[in-house]
A and B are shown apart, each in its own frame.
Chain A
Amino acid sequence: MKKSIYIQLSLCSALVVFLAACSKDWLKPDQLSKYDPNTTLINAQGMYFALAACERNMRHEYYGDNAPILTEIMQSEIAVEGTTDKAGPQVNMDAALLPDADLNNVNTTKVGWYWYEGYKGIKYANTVISRIDTAVFKDENEKNAVLGAAYFHRAYRYFKLTHQFGNVPFLDREFNDPKYDFYSYDRWSILERMKSDLEFAYQWVPEKVDRGRTSKAACGVLLMKVCMALTDFDRAITIGNEIVAKHPLMKNRFTANQNKPNTNLMFDLHSVEAKLDGSNTEGLMYVVAYPQVELADNPNARIQTMRNAVPFWNSANVKTPDGRAGTSVDLAANETDPSLNINENYGRGIGRLRSTWYFTNEIWRSDKEANDMRGILNTDSWRKMEDLKYNHPALKSSNPWYGKNLIKPVNMSIEDTIRCWYSWPHYKVFVPDPLVLQKAGGETPWYIYRSAEVFLMMAECYYWKNDLAQAAVNLNEVRTRAGASPIAAGDVNIGEILDERARELYYEENRHIELVRIAYTYTKTKKPCEIFGGRVYSLENISGPGGINSNVKQMGVNFWYDRVVSKSNFYNHGVKQKFGEYKVSVHHLLWPVPANAINTNTKGVINQNIGYPGAEKNVPR
């Protein structure tokens, strides 16, 4: 009996082999759990999946520990890198911004992130653009809406790249084969192309979309920025007026929090609830995250604004006046006073985004911003270290300072004041963080564009057109909503406009990009810059004379440098910490192209920016 079973088995196996090997498709690969682009990106639905990748990529800029947006803020007059306990963070740009350095790292800078992820975003958008004619759509409207949204995403990246890296390679289609012969394109021609793409997008992308998706208004804002970069201020003003007519500012308190004590309209506007609230007309484009929605563990979905921007109050060097450790994340077991829970109330900051005096004090004038809900003079909206209380459990039974307000330690070192002792806009960076013990800032939607910025951009357009009265009108829309007093036409200058942007758009705008855009505009318009004694800037040598290690620190070369060193109390003011001195040079207007991009492009030349090693190998383009 047994014997016959074995015989059958062995014959069977021989038969199986015979069949298998003869089959033509035997070695055909089959990705069971992965999609194939050629069978997925064939209709509107597939295209919206691809656009979702663009919108997710857009989100990463604002989220996580040392989010890329911090680099944009630190390369301006608003803030600097406050980390003092390790080498690597971008303190001295002469050292940190080099093509061979690690340019995309939590511990250094995210300059490389903008390059690397910028081109990723362009790839995602180009996937849609290249396949638009082979995909099937319901009608021309649907097709153009998809194409418009893809144009928006491509332009969103190129707008950043042309202001961060200047002349960059221009890829306008999907690449399915290796390519090693890229060249840099003139930034102005890229911007011209973006302008026409965005006009198409502004025409076809629908007004009403779910939050997080690309809207007509978003295409409009980006189109305005591109128009401004190309000095077409009239077109920008026309679009701006169309947008604000449909999307007025929020002028009254809203959301369920409107009666909460010690809050105001600015708390409402920047709360998680506001970004979900259908009555919010001000938001034009969002990126979305929300607690417990993305169930796969995703640390990068948490905004971490508090970790980044709140001072490192938990440092051992925040001591009581009698030299004891003063603060703690954990409270004493029987502590019931909620005001002692610093971690819960403000988040455990690490003081990475260290604001400058300009941002914490200079722009909040005792007369004009006395009642400004966005400013430090409003004691609900901002917090000072002195508002926190000593809460270390070890102090509770024995030390008189327990429960008292913080007092700056007498012998606190400069390093520790950088990281541990400054004020911050609580209303903006506070985000509940329900799922972790050490509060950093949890999942929340975030604004990409708001109508308030549109008013400020229109104000700037009128400034360039020398219509200061209209500029004041637009600035005052934003100012009076926040409780600041209106300013007069005669007071308007580029400094006032930039101050207003800082007041309104902290942790929202790409501050460095905006300064660079204005720097280019001065060279294009030849308008004398009134805040620097009527100086006229030139496009030629905008990055300075160049040369390895020249690190030129001279006023008058470009507006970005002049603005940063004249307003920041850190850069080039001799402020030192263990791992370096705060320094910038004129060529840091534009960032270094990562060396890897240049090295791997063996058959072509991607130009390096002037002032960085490698620029000597550039070819004219």
Chain B
Amino acid sequence: MTGEEFLDWRYDYVAGKNGEAYLEQYPQIFTDPRKLTNVNQLGWYNYDQKTPVTSLPEENELLRTWLSRLELKVPEIDNYLANNVTNWQDLVFQKGFQQDYTASVSNKNENSNYYFSLNYVDREGIVVGNRFTNFRTRLNLESKVTSFLKVGANTNFAVRDEGFLQADWGQSAIISPYGSNNLDDTGSLYRRLPTGDATPVNPFHDNSYRDRKDMYNTLNSSIYGIITLPLGFEFQSNFTPSFVWRDYYNHESSKNPQWAANGGSTERTNEKTYNWQIDNVLRWKKRFDDHNFEVTLLQNAEKGQSWRTVSTTSNYYGADILSWHRIQAGTNPYNESDDTYRTGDALMARLFYSFKDKYMLTASVRRDGYSAFGTQNPRATFPAIAFAWDFTEEKFMKPTSDWLDYGKLRLSWGKNGNRDIGQYEALSDMTSGLHPYIDEQGNVYLFPQLYVNRMANPALMWESKSSYNIGLDFSLFKRRLSGSIDAYTATTLDLLVDRALPEIIGFNSVAANLGQLNNKGFEVSLNGNIIQKENFGWNSGFIFMINRRKIVKLYGDMIDVKDANGNVIGQKEADDIKNRWFIGRDPDQFWNYERVGVWQVGEEDEAGKYEDSAPGDFKYKDQNGDGAMTDADRVFLGYKSPRFRWTWRNDFDYKRLSLSIFIYSNWGQEEQFNRAANNSVFPDRATDYIQPRWTPDNPINDYARIGSKNIGTNYVERSFIRLDNISLSYAIPQTFLNKVSIQSARVSAAVRNVAFWAPHWKYGDPESGGFRTRNPNDNNNEYTPGQPTPRTYNLSLNVTL
């Protein structure tokens, strides 16, 4: 907000808050004293003088009085008078500079080959201070030991540094433009709190007292041996270990006045993760005339382990100048550890058979095991079968061969498993902590407390999804147009969910397998070589996707259906209202109060019935007209997930230049936009993004008054079309390169996130990640958008020697 916008905004707030009667008693009390009409300045000034003055003070004095009435704080008033305006958004956002360097070398001879690369990345984000660096090296080696044995290893090692401190950019939206930006003035009272109030904090202040190291070292490797056996057999064995070490060290200095009382505090966290997998694969490939066989047998085992230690301390009595290098100097040592363990295994067999390369059959079966289901149902079996027919090879298709190059019909059925749950979800665990008591001498000591935190479900099992797919691949007109069409239906059984429990049992939910979810969808992908000239080419690809889901069954709890007189007329399965899962509905559909505008002046009495709403507050429809908003007034609204999506890629080549443009769109999804209620900040102490607001003189229907009461949830459509990427590259002429003995070189420039069009969504990027906070008592999981998606400009040079 600019200074003027801020003062207008604050005026609307204080005038709205104090109400008509107050404004009648003190006419124009909140108006700029230089712009009074029908009120004299002296009388106006005396509104808040205990002893009325008789002569008019100087203008600055009048302005101070005015701004105090608008609840501006002392430094804000000083800055107004001195005309010091700070654009906080400009201070926290930057143009981030990103660098990426790669050098690689590879070589190959008859018995061995290798590849070696070095890569360094330094990425700045769009928020000041947001940055990470990554150094990565990779070595791939393969050696032929004998004619039948090949061994190799692919190994990469990386060092990532994330110990950079990002400015608290969220604050920039709530500090008023008159807040004091004087971090460097050590004598100022407003270094940390730009208005002197506890709410807005200088986005850079606390970071200047933090010292952080956050290093990730990762080592991933794949070591393998391949034995070629007679009669078309081949045996391969892989061992894939992966290590991650993380060192997070953070110190908050006692020199920060805010933390001084705590005497400095430190955290040192060391974490190690070690996962490995072993795969043994036996393959057999054989061709007998028209019959082609491929058989694959797989055996797999995996283990994942992690070890984490957190050491913290505080209160160094000021002796914290060594930061996190000497935590034994702190007087409040505390340790924590958390280790985890999981295992899994799999057996798989697959047969591929084709006849005349025209009819193809793939059949497979796999049996998976996972320790999270280890108590009773660790393993599950998933079969699949697929059939494909290349019908253009058939004789009767001869007549069409002048336009149809290729056509293949696919049919498949398969079952998939899902094990996406926490590794200990099925087990009951006890949370432990320490609780203080006082002994007879008056000493406070700690004693362990334990309580059962999770309800066990030993019967928990794999989720399985069986799907039918029918597809057609084709290529027409000498490969000018190709593509595929797919349609599928899938039935997911035993979905892994947190089933809500009546909370009085002491657990909110239990990990459970939920009944049945149906899923159907359709996808078309088209690819066209629209123009193919010697010097100019245009290739275009378009994909369209649509998907629908529906809950068919939940837990099988039947309840009575009653008519208006309370007589039982049948039975139906109970919905899970707490989780907002309803039989016959998409779990992504919102079920809530329906917003029908904003209460307007004159509707006071009607509005007041609904939790004391007032003009300027969002108006929600009382569906059954009983004068109270309850579950009976919730209705099915829009969907969280897009109703359809499409992407469109275009590549143009002109001589040595190539241009690529990528556009995509998600359509029909909705998201919460409660910020439209203009109540997300304390308006008496802060400010907000500039956005429309309701006032009696601006009776709009999609935004509420400042500091409104919002008794429901406002949803806004988030459909968008995004021009995601434009890139242009130029291959440097060979004639030139030959002179400097370079094999090839290419210069390219790209812009990502170029633009988007979102007709309804006005609150920043329609795709900015964001997060939901889960309130255990209310399922309206409040949505908070993430930080804006950056637009990146990329220039790169690729040289091969």
Contact = CB atoms under 8 A, between A and B. Distances in A.
A179 B776 CA distance: 19
A596 B777 contact: yes
Contact of A36 (B74, B429, B437): B429
A498 interface: no
A276 B436 contact: no
A323 B777 contact: no
The main secondary structure of chain B at its interface with chain A is mixed
Interface in B68-107: 68, 71-74, 78
Given A127-B452, A394-B74, A293 B196 contact: no
A276 B445 CA distance: 12
A434 B260 CA distance: 10
Interface stretch (B208-216, B705-713, B742-750): B705-713
A474 interface: no
Residue in B452, B684, B685 with the greatest tally of chain A CB atoms within 10 Å: B452
Given A10-B237, A26-B343, A294 B446 contact: yes
Contacts of A322: 49-50
Contact of B301 (A20, A292, A407): A20
Contact of A29 (B49, B375, B436, B442): B375
Nearest to B303: A20
Contact of B777 (A102, A169, A548): A102
Given A87-B679, A288-B438, A289-B436, A127 B451 contact: yes
B682 interface: yes
A606 B378 CA distance: 37
A437 interface: yes
Contacts of A30: 341, 371
A431 B258 CA distance: 19
B628 A7 contact: no
B629 interface: yes
Contact of B280 (A17, A103, A328, A580): A17
B793 to A, nearest CB: 42
A614 to B, nearest CB: 7
A37 B450 CA distance: 9
Instruction: With a 10 A CB-CB cut-off, give which of B47, B371, B708 has the most chain A CB atoms.
Output: B371
A395 B623 CA distance: 56
Interface in A72-115: 85-88, 91-92, 95-96, 98-105, 112, 115
Contacts of A601: 502
B17 A415 contact: yes
Contact of A95 (B223, B432, B574, B612): B612
Nearest to B682: A85
Contact of B440 (A210, A292, A295, A407): A210
Interface stretch (B143-151, B160-168, B169-177, B464-472): B143-151
A240 interface: no
Contacts of A597: 502-504
A312 B158 CA distance: 53
Interface stretch (A190-198, A313-321, A524-532, A533-541): A313-321
A299 interface: no
B339 A292 contact: no
Nearest to A46: B450
A122 B424 contact: no
A28 interface: yes
Contacts of B17: 415, 578
B610 to A, nearest CB: 8
A213 B502 contact: no
B577 A599 contact: yes
Contacts of B629: 98, 100
Given A14-B280, A119-B503, A286 B343 contact: no
B436 A290 contact: yes
A602 interface: yes
Contacts of B404: none
B81 to A, nearest CB: 12
A29 B151 contact: no
B172 to A, nearest CB: 22
A436 B261 contact: yes
B344 A53 contact: no
A524 B797 CA distance: 89
A363 interface: no
A55 interface: yes
A387 interface: no
Contact of B626 (A86, A88, A212, A548): A548
Nearest to A408: B50
B428 interface: yes
A372 B489 CA distance: 79
Contacts of B64: 323-324
A354 interface: no
A407 B48 CA distance: 12
B550 to A, nearest CB: 20
A182 interface: yes
A37 B428 CA distance: 8
Contact of A87 (B19, B435, B627, B710): B710
B506 A33 contact: no
Contact of A295 (B332, B430, B447, B504): B332
A548 B452 contact: no
A250 B455 CA distance: 46
B225 A29 contact: no
Contacts of A86: 679, 682, 707
**Max chain A Cβ within 10 angstroms of own Cβ: one of B64, B258, B373, B437:** B437
Contact of A122 (B336, B506, B507, B559): B506
Nearest to A34: B429
B534 interface: no
B778 A27 contact: no
Given A50-B451, A53-B451, A21 B258 contact: no
A330 interface: yes
A41 B452 CA distance: 10
A323 B433 contact: no
B374 A28 contact: yes
Nearest to A599: B577
Interface string B331-347: 01110111111111100
Contact of A16 (B278, B432, B500, B631): B278
Contacts of B68: 316, 319, 323-325
B558 to A, nearest CB: 9
B345 A27 contact: yes
B694 to A, nearest CB: 14
A435 B777 contact: no
Contact of A392 (B74, B428, B452): B74
B48 A329 contact: no
Interface of B: 17-19, 22, 26, 29, 47-51, 64-65, 68, 71-74, 78, 143, 145, 149, 151, 187, 189, 196-198, 223-225, 237-239, 257-258, 260-262, 278, 280, 299, 301, 303, 312, 314-315, 332-334, 336-345, 369-375, 378-379, 423-424, 426-442, 444, 446-452, 455-456, 499-507, 510, 512, 557, 559, 574, 576-578, 609-612, 617, 626-632, 679, 682-685, 707-710, 775-779
- Counting from the closest, the 6 A-B pairs by CB-CB distance are A123-B506, A10-B225, A87-B709, A321-B50, A295-B334, A52-B449
23 contacts: A3-B151, A13-B237, A13-B278, A26-B369, A29-B424, A35-B430, A35-B450, A52-B450, A56-B435, A85-B684, A95-B611, A98-B611, A104-B777, A127-B452, A296-B434, A316-B73, A316-B684, A409-B48, A415-B18, A549-B627, A578-B707, A600-B500, A603-B574
